[in-house]
Amino acid sequence: MIEYPKGLWYTILVVCYLQNRTACAGGKESIMALFVPDIMITSVTDITADFLRSYGIKGLVLDVDNTLTTHGNPTPAPGVLEWLDGMKQAGFQLTIVSNNTHQRVEPFANMLGLSFISMGCKPLTFGMTKACKRFGCRPKEIAVVGDQIFTDILGGNLKGMLTILVTPLAPEHGRFFQLKRRLEGPFIRKYQKRKGGS
Ligand SMILES: [Mg+2]
């Protein structure tokens, strides 16, 4: 019996979801735009308080795998702990929204002193909605930070949040991941074209 990757089921769900949500995704003029990040950076640690304030951001929704650490790694990437402390001291609200399991996310979030939502089903926006309630903020006051266009960026754009795509901390080796990365190419090129003023 063929075992389909769970990402396939997410994709099917998203297609259905987009049909209903595209018309009301405020500020995003087309389906294509829903897949394009607002900002691309190398690492979460490149995000500064001043930068976030310039966008009116008050809270951050953070992905775990390949954003704060590598897949399955219980230890945050170098500089992440210090960066989180700086963000907390600057008054930003922080929470993790991960598609990974409770068993994976809970100990990691506890170690970082962060609240969390596991099995977030990004790009569906349930986790983002919970984060809005948790922060007491409107979506446009929250930035989503993650390494994947089809989960983190699409989910954040659907919710009307600022979306920040980071470079994955490590390359993935599964065939499905590699396909997904190839499919991300056109959206990254669109971002680069827009940034170049074309
Ligand atoms: Mg990730």
Secondary structure (3-state) at 125? coil
| 14 Cα to the center of ligand 1, angstroms | 17
pLDDT tens per residue, range 25-79: 555 557 888 999 999 999 999 999 999 999 999 999 999 999 999 999 999 999 9
| 181 Cα to the center of ligand 1, angstroms | 12
| 67 Cα to the center of ligand 1, angstroms | 6
| 90 Cα to the center of ligand 1, angstroms | 25
Q: Domains of the chain (ranges plus CATH)?
A: 30-195 (3.40.50.1000)
| 57 Cα to the center of ligand 1, angstroms | 21
Task: Report the DSSP beta bridge partners of residue 62.
Answer: 96, 145
pLDDT for residue 2 = 46
pTM score, whole prediction: 0.87
pLDDT for residue 1 = 40
| 65 Cα to the center of ligand 1, angstroms | 4
| 61 Cα to the center of ligand 1, angstroms | 12
Q: Which residues surround ligand 1, an ion (CB under 5 A)?
A: 63, 65-66, 147
Secondary structure (3-state) at 152? helix
pLDDT for residue 15 = 60
pLDDT for residue 23 = 47
pLDDT for residue 46 = 97
| 48 Cα to the center of ligand 1, angstroms | 20
Rounded CA separation 79/1 (Å) = 44
Other Cβ atoms closer than 10 A to 76: 19
List the chain residues with pLDDT less than 50.
Answer: 1-2, 23
Secondary structure (3-state) at 165? strand
Which structure tokens are listed for 160?
């009307």
| 166 Cα to the center of ligand 1, angstroms | 9
| 31 Cα to the center of ligand 1, angstroms | 22
**Separation of first and last alpha carbons in the chain:** 48
**Lookup result for tokens 């304030």:** 53
CB 75 within 8 A of CB 69: yes
Rounded CA separation 115/189 (Å) = 34
| 99 Cα to the center of ligand 1, angstroms | 8
